[in-house]
Chains A and B, each alone.
Chain A
Amino acid sequence: MPDVTRIEIAMRSGFADSRGRAVARRIRTHLGIAVRDVRTRDVYHVEPALGQEDAERVARAFAGPVTRIGAVGRIPEDGADWDVAITVGYRPGVTDPVGKSARVAIEDLLGRSLGPDAAVYTSRVYLLAGVSLEQGQRIARELLANEIIERIDVRSWDEFAGGPVDLSVPKVSATAVPPVETIDLELSDDELVRLSRERLLALSLDEMKAIREHFRGAADDPRRRAVGLTGAPTDAELECLAQTWSEHCKHKIMNARIRYEEPGRPPEIVDSLFATCIKGTTEQLDRRIREREGRSWLVSVFHDNAGVIAATERHHLVYKVETHNSPSALDPYGGAITGIVGVNRDPFGTGLGADLLSNVWGYCFASPNTHGEVPRGLLHPRRIREGVHQGVIDGGNQSGIPYARGWEYFDERFLGKPLVFCGTVGRMPVEVEGHPAERKRCRPGDRIVMVGGRIGKDGIHGATFSSAELTEESPVQAVQIGDPITQKMMFDFLLEARDRGLYSAITDNGAGGLSSSVGEMAEQPGGARMDLARAPLKYQGLAPWEILVSEAQERMTLAVPPDRLEAFLELAARREVEATDLGEFTDDGMFHVLYDGRTVCWLPLEFLHGGVPAMDLSARWSPPAAQPLAPLPRPEPERMAELAIEFLARENLASNELISRQYDHEVKGLSIVRPFVGRGADVPSDATVMQIDHARWEGYVLAEGVFPGYSDVDAAAMAEAGVDLAVRRVVAAGARFDRIAALDNYCWPDPLPAPDNPDAEHKLAQLVRASRGLARACLAYGVPLVSGKDSMKNDAVIGGRRISIPPTLLVSAIGLIEDVRRAVTLETRGAGDLLVIVGETRDELGGTEWARARGVQPTTVPRCDPERWAGRYRTVSAVIRDGLVRAAHAPGRGGLLPALFRMSRAAGLGVEVDLDVLPRDGEPGWEALLFGESCGRFLLACAPDRREDVVRRLEGVPCAVIGRFVERPVLGVRHEGQVLLDIETGRLAEGWLRTLADDDAGEGDRA
């Protein structure tokens, strides 16, 4: 008999089990199984066992007085007619946050500790009526559990209720610590490549050779011999280098020397896209700002975990966006929650630390309505979408951080790799204890202190894993599960410690774990020495190299001056946060890691950080052959109405308001313009606006632009359009035009040559073009790039078939506004208000949503003219900020029609426009006028008596009054003197509201 107590909690019969009901609905709609009823039970296994009286006390306390029943062992049968019982629990070693909280509750309830090795393990039982055992298996695998991290037990009700009570727990059995291995690199090239692959190092042959070269040279170093090491690397050294040199950490492709070719032009050499297009752009803008203003508002860029810009007298703003694609493909919930709580640690670990203000999220998925089987090894996109949403919802809400921006984009090519973008804005005080808060001050002698969660095998090889393509054998260890509450408690403690000046530097433990965090922090003082045997573990038996590179979550690494150590550890203990002194920073130039006093890793920092050989790559752009669009004859109004309804109901235009409202968007009390605006609060806003401080009116404005569809024609057009839309959106909301910064997040299909990747050179050429487009637009608009990230292996090879994502660049803009009370939305005030368009419409339907709807691929992709448009935006910005307009909107995906629809719906009014007066360039037909996505345009609404003022202020800018808002609830469009569209706005909204309205989608696997 195991030494375990089982406690079950369930809703009493007679009280609704809304969770069970939601599961039943999903079984019916997603799997087409006619389940009759579902109820659920929460199970707590406590080890070691509790006495009967104590156990009953716990069951009573957990159940509460009315709706729920608690029992020790099994809940007595209530006469219900069940067929199948499914139990879902975690696999050994997987984070169980509920179990952790339950232990705290039990210990306080009983007034005693459960003992050092005690644990509470949670699982969930689903009771189903009206299904067979076989259907139960399918429901468990395809809906309720993810076998990568969870165990499933499916049995008949009779067996469940009549058999012995299940007391099994997913305990990790303690094993001996594996010895440190020495790895022989004196191998042939093929053997080196194989070694890299088999150990999941993701190192290239050149890199393996560079490492071999280093150790050959180190063989005779007496200092190395003195610490007991030889001329071959230890496993810890090799793993540490693999993590530090991973694409994820080193951005080798963005830093490569690239020979770039395109048809009709001589080849040229690009020496690092990062140095030229990104850093170079920002440096140029920084100089321009200094010349103009005397000093720069760029406070800290490129060398820390996130970019820092000046905002108010009291605070700087910190912003970072990350992706968490590969883990989310394997375990959508765990991958996504780790993505959001992980990116939280970036601003938090910038400078001396920032407190967090708002999150952003954005996802690229294949259609959730994908029919038929998905390839083996992949999850259905609907399941990925549900899990990702629930993960980010739980991660954000439980951390008490509101979301500011959220979007989804659907394309079948995201079947192989979904993209999960998560970002966080933080604010740091301008000074901490008299020191600039953006500067870390790590000195030799400072203690290396790890704070937060414990280390397990979770997330081992995360950095190298994300730098490799997904295959059917992708390692289970690469999945971590974030625990937002543990992190929240750690953050609360660290903010206290920061404000008391108890540490001198902070960084997060993300990719590469301690090897990266301590390795990077060691650069400032010039060395580090730590002993891994001191690190707190979730369970025994980890090899030293595993402790070094584990990506177990919720951990920060700090430098604590020796005279503050006691106070720091005392405060941590008081706040019930684990903090451990692992060693000290030094200045001997070495990254020196020991295990129980024996050296396991001894690497010069210079080699660790500077030894990776630069890549030489070749890029060749093969643009698609020019393809015009065969125009459609103009339909009759009734047919046009149907087209408009169908168009707005497309997944890429439809409302996702219901699921978005499951994310908190106003906790902290700083939100002013929310993600959804308008009379019904259901129209997505162009940009959101938040205060920075409760007591001040200054604010920041967030928006983004992302156009994966354009990269098929030209990735440069995609990048420019992304910058352009992000900028137009923050301008529309009232941001200062001279205080806009941006982040770049590249997600690319693998641009490295390989036998199964024949068009790698083209993909790399797309990367070059996107980077140049990005730089061009940012320079023209004066928008520095303050932070960014790239993810270069967004492919899946399944059954020999490569599924690559379209190259995707997300541009996230952050702007400043002096007074949030003057922010503008896309909702105007009343009937009679005029609608003004700014900017020309051109025949640009390439890569647009309309072209996709028609199933055609014209190459007339929307192009930007940012050098010319910068002055226009400055003018428009002034018009908006001077209060001349009542509403402003930047048309984006889908063009004018969705933009008119949104403005009309927001105001609760009809709108009548005449396409014939639209300023134009070339000869756009009705399709381009209504659905073209030409950049550079704004829609402004103003009171009739402001018409003269607005038009006068816009002198020299192409603009026209195209119509007005009317009481009649109709969207009316005229073209060439005739009615093109005349449809009731309510009818127009039906599909738009319905397509993504499965609000049950929020009920994740482990909600």
Chain B
Amino acid sequence: MSGRRDVRVLIPTGFGLNCEAETARAFEVLGAAPDLVHWTDLFARRHDRRLADYDVIVFVGGFSYGDHIAGGLVLATRIRARLLDDLRAFLEGGGFALGICNGFQTLLRLGLLPGPEELPHDFEPRADLAPNDRLGYRDAWVRLRVEDGTRCAWLRGVERIDVPSRHGEGRFVVAGEAELDRLERRGAVALRYVGPDGEPTETWPFNPNGSRRGIAGITDASGRILGLMPHPDAFLHPWHHPRAPVHDDPESAFRPTGLAIFRAGLEAAASR
């Protein structure tokens, strides 16, 4: 995969985000060299690159501002106030963005997900990630199914994903069933929680937050932005899988499906 190494990846950090190390590791495993830059340096434009100089930006998981007011809200408010033009330039230049957990919440509150039906982005929030139906944070592995024929670049060649879900506010909500239908029709739904039968589910614990129709991840109209609640950054090698220690041959049994998302995104960015 020539080119992967040349993909410029930005991982902003700080303010209570906490998954930057494993997210950076994912890219390193794949041969890229991500830049970890504190949000304050991006705000102050002290970093020698602007957002538009990057091919990929990952909004990592964590607890930016402690999930105070609502998950991702304070950070999104600050980005909107201080970096909107840079973000617009990044998107208009064809950049790829991934939001994981708190990062998904942040992209949603920035209005990038689900985003408008047609580009360009208008930064208008259209959905919420509400407190889990069964209240409280929960850390447990879940299974996700990639939506057939999704345009999402981050999911190209990926079918099924086993990853941990680790959040307290992940119930994707829009204004009514009709709006949900519309989102599905336009291909915004990228990932769903599935039950043991492999079908989308609203049932706990397979769906940890009770989201309608099992929605776990959303993509925008371009397919270059993906937000998801569970953590692909937590399954980068076979021994991340909780059952690896009791398997004779974990390496062939547990394909790291979290890493697959990063690989797909990186390859899409490399070939643009």
Q: Min CB distance, B16 to chain A, in Å?
A: 5
Known contacts A694-B25, A1003-B136; A101/B74 CB under 8 A: yes
- CA gap between A790 and B206 in the complex, in Å: 43
Is residue A98 within 8 Å, beta carbon to beta carbon, of the partner chain? yes
Out of A62, A398, A665, which one reaches B139, CB within 8 Å? A665
Asked if B130 and A111 make an inter-chain contact with CB atoms under 8 angstroms apart, the answer reads no
Asked if A825 and B18 make an inter-chain contact with CB atoms under 8 angstroms apart, the answer reads no
Among B73, B77, B248, the most chain A Cβ lie within 10 Å of the Cβ of B77
Q: Which of B49-57, B216-224, B239-247, B263-271 contacts A (4 or more CB under 8 A)?
A: B239-247
Q: Min CB distance, B270 to chain A, in Å?
A: 23
- CA gap between A398 and B82 in the complex, in Å: 24
Out of A15, A22, A105, which one reaches B173, CB within 8 Å? A15
Interfacial chain A residues near B272, Cβ < 8 Å: none
- CA gap between A19 and B137 in the complex, in Å: 12
Asked if A400 and B133 make an inter-chain contact with CB atoms under 8 angstroms apart, the answer reads no
Is residue B41 within 8 Å, beta carbon to beta carbon, of the partner chain? yes
- CA gap between A662 and B136 in the complex, in Å: 7
Out of A98, A828, A1003, which one reaches B66, CB within 8 Å? A98
Out of B22, B40, B74, B140, which one reaches A694, CB within 8 Å? B22
Within 8 A of A (CB), among B30-62: 38, 40-41, 44, 46, 61-62
Out of B62, B82, B126, B174, which one reaches A400, CB within 8 Å? B62
Asked if B173 and A664 make an inter-chain contact with CB atoms under 8 angstroms apart, the answer reads no
Asked if A661 and B140 make an inter-chain contact with CB atoms under 8 angstroms apart, the answer reads yes
Of all chain B residues, the one with the shortest Cβ separation from A828 is: B246
Asked if B21 and A664 make an inter-chain contact with CB atoms under 8 angstroms apart, the answer reads no
Asked if A108 and B78 make an inter-chain contact with CB atoms under 8 angstroms apart, the answer reads yes
Known contacts A64-B73, A575-B14, A669-B234; A1002/B81 CB under 8 A: no
Asked if A64 and B166 make an inter-chain contact with CB atoms under 8 angstroms apart, the answer reads no
Interfacial chain B residues near A662, Cβ < 8 Å: 136-139
- CA gap between A673 and B242 in the complex, in Å: 7
Within 8 A of A (CB), among B73-106: 73-74, 77-78, 80-82
Asked if B239 and A18 make an inter-chain contact with CB atoms under 8 angstroms apart, the answer reads no
Is residue A479 within 8 Å, beta carbon to beta carbon, of the partner chain? no
- CA gap between A677 and B244 in the complex, in Å: 11
Asked if A62 and B25 make an inter-chain contact with CB atoms under 8 angstroms apart, the answer reads no
Out of B17, B67, B166, which one reaches A666, CB within 8 Å? B166
Is residue A894 within 8 Å, beta carbon to beta carbon, of the partner chain? no
Interfacial chain B residues near A64, Cβ < 8 Å: 70, 73, 109, 125, 128
Could you say which interface size class chain A belongs to?
A: 35 or more
Asked if A65 and B128 make an inter-chain contact with CB atoms under 8 angstroms apart, the answer reads yes
Interfacial chain A residues near B185, Cβ < 8 Å: none
Asked if A1007 and B136 make an inter-chain contact with CB atoms under 8 angstroms apart, the answer reads yes
Number of A-B contacts (CB under 8 A): 195
Interfacial chain A residues near B25, Cβ < 8 Å: 669, 694-695
Q: Min CB distance, A257 to chain B, in Å?
A: 48
Q: Min CB distance, B80 to chain A, in Å?
A: 8
Asked if B68 and A999 make an inter-chain contact with CB atoms under 8 angstroms apart, the answer reads no
Q: Which of A482-490, A599-607, A850-858 contacts B (4 or more CB under 8 A)?
A: A482-490
Is residue A674 within 8 Å, beta carbon to beta carbon, of the partner chain? yes
- CA gap between A393 and B166 in the complex, in Å: 12
Of all chain A residues, the one with the shortest Cβ separation from B141 is: A681
- CA gap between A727 and B19 in the complex, in Å: 32
Is residue A500 within 8 Å, beta carbon to beta carbon, of the partner chain? no
- CA gap between A370 and B16 in the complex, in Å: 38
Asked if A485 and B66 make an inter-chain contact with CB atoms under 8 angstroms apart, the answer reads yes
Interfacial chain A residues near B74, Cβ < 8 Å: 101-102, 104-105
Asked if B44 and A681 make an inter-chain contact with CB atoms under 8 angstroms apart, the answer reads no
Asked if B130 and A15 make an inter-chain contact with CB atoms under 8 angstroms apart, the answer reads yes
Asked if A489 and B15 make an inter-chain contact with CB atoms under 8 angstroms apart, the answer reads yes
Q: Min CB distance, A64 to chain B, in Å?
A: 5
Asked if B131 and A62 make an inter-chain contact with CB atoms under 8 angstroms apart, the answer reads no
Is residue B13 within 8 Å, beta carbon to beta carbon, of the partner chain? yes
Q: Min CB distance, A503 to chain B, in Å?
A: 18
Interfacial chain A residues near B137, Cβ < 8 Å: 393, 397, 662-664, 1002
- CA gap between A22 and B137 in the complex, in Å: 13
- CA gap between A11 and B62 in the complex, in Å: 24
Asked if B65 and A485 make an inter-chain contact with CB atoms under 8 angstroms apart, the answer reads yes
Interfacial chain A residues near B68, Cβ < 8 Å: 97-98, 101-102, 485
Asked if B131 and A66 make an inter-chain contact with CB atoms under 8 angstroms apart, the answer reads no
Asked if B22 and A669 make an inter-chain contact with CB atoms under 8 angstroms apart, the answer reads yes
Interfacial chain B residues near A689, Cβ < 8 Å: 245
Interfacial chain B residues near A492, Cβ < 8 Å: 13-14, 38
Q: Which of A816-824, A909-917, A932-940 contacts B (4 or more CB under 8 A)?
A: A816-824
- CA gap between A872 and B268 in the complex, in Å: 56
- CA gap between A109 and B128 in the complex, in Å: 19
Is residue B200 within 8 Å, beta carbon to beta carbon, of the partner chain? no
Asked if A65 and B127 make an inter-chain contact with CB atoms under 8 angstroms apart, the answer reads yes
Out of A109, A485, A576, A1000, which one reaches B135, CB within 8 Å? A1000
Is residue B193 within 8 Å, beta carbon to beta carbon, of the partner chain? no
Is residue B236 within 8 Å, beta carbon to beta carbon, of the partner chain? yes
Q: Min CB distance, A39 to chain B, in Å?
A: 13
Is residue A557 within 8 Å, beta carbon to beta carbon, of the partner chain? no
- CA gap between A101 and B66 in the complex, in Å: 8
Of all chain B residues, the one with the shortest Cβ separation from A659 is: B136
- CA gap between A575 and B37 in the complex, in Å: 12
Known contacts A102-B68, A105-B69, A666-B234; A19/B135 CB under 8 A: yes
Q: Min CB distance, A791 to chain B, in Å?
A: 29
Within 8 A of A (CB), among B135-176: 135-141, 164, 166, 173-175
Q: Min CB distance, A664 to chain B, in Å?
A: 5
Of all chain B residues, the one with the shortest Cβ separation from A63 is: B70
Out of B62, B69, B125, B140, which one reaches A65, CB within 8 Å? B125
Within 8 A of B (CB), among A804-845: 820-821, 823-825, 827-829
Interfacial chain A residues near B69, Cβ < 8 Å: 9, 42, 62, 98, 101-102, 105
Asked if A681 and B70 make an inter-chain contact with CB atoms under 8 angstroms apart, the answer reads no
Interfacial chain B residues near A673, Cβ < 8 Å: 245
Is residue B63 within 8 Å, beta carbon to beta carbon, of the partner chain? yes
Is residue B182 within 8 Å, beta carbon to beta carbon, of the partner chain? no
Out of B61, B62, B67, B140, which one reaches A681, CB within 8 Å? B140
- CA gap between A662 and B46 in the complex, in Å: 38
- CA gap between A694 and B26 in the complex, in Å: 10
- CA gap between A120 and B77 in the complex, in Å: 16
Is residue B132 within 8 Å, beta carbon to beta carbon, of the partner chain? yes
Q: Min CB distance, A946 to chain B, in Å?
A: 13
Asked if A489 and B14 make an inter-chain contact with CB atoms under 8 angstroms apart, the answer reads yes
Q: Min CB distance, A775 to chain B, in Å?
A: 34
Is residue A374 within 8 Å, beta carbon to beta carbon, of the partner chain? no
Asked if B135 and A484 make an inter-chain contact with CB atoms under 8 angstroms apart, the answer reads no
- CA gap between A667 and B41 in the complex, in Å: 25
- CA gap between A667 and B165 in the complex, in Å: 11
Asked if A489 and B239 make an inter-chain contact with CB atoms under 8 angstroms apart, the answer reads no
Asked if B134 and A18 make an inter-chain contact with CB atoms under 8 angstroms apart, the answer reads yes
Asked if B234 and A574 make an inter-chain contact with CB atoms under 8 angstroms apart, the answer reads no
Asked if A397 and B63 make an inter-chain contact with CB atoms under 8 angstroms apart, the answer reads yes
Asked if B239 and A820 make an inter-chain contact with CB atoms under 8 angstroms apart, the answer reads yes
Interfacial chain A residues near B41, Cβ < 8 Å: 574
Interfacial chain A residues near B14, Cβ < 8 Å: 489, 492, 575
- CA gap between A673 and B241 in the complex, in Å: 9
- CA gap between A64 and B73 in the complex, in Å: 9
Interfacial chain A residues near B109, Cβ < 8 Å: 64
Is residue A148 within 8 Å, beta carbon to beta carbon, of the partner chain? no
Is residue A979 within 8 Å, beta carbon to beta carbon, of the partner chain? no
* Contact bitstring A480-509, B, C-beta under 8 A = 1, else 0: 000011001100100000000000000000
- CA gap between A821 and B127 in the complex, in Å: 42
Is residue A515 within 8 Å, beta carbon to beta carbon, of the partner chain? no
| Apart from A66-B126, A489-B16, A825-B245: 11 A-B pairs, beta carbons within 8 A | A11-B130, A18-B134, A65-B124, A68-B70, A68-B128, A105-B77, A398-B67, A489-B14, A575-B38, A663-B139, A669-B25
Contact sample, A vs B, 10 pairs, CB 8 Å cutoff: A66-B128, A68-B128, A669-B236, A677-B246, A681-B141, A821-B244, A829-B246, A1000-B135, A1003-B135, A1007-B135
Which 7 A-B pairs give the minimum distances between C-beta atoms? A400-B18, A669-B22, A101-B68, A485-B66, A108-B81, A101-B65, A694-B25
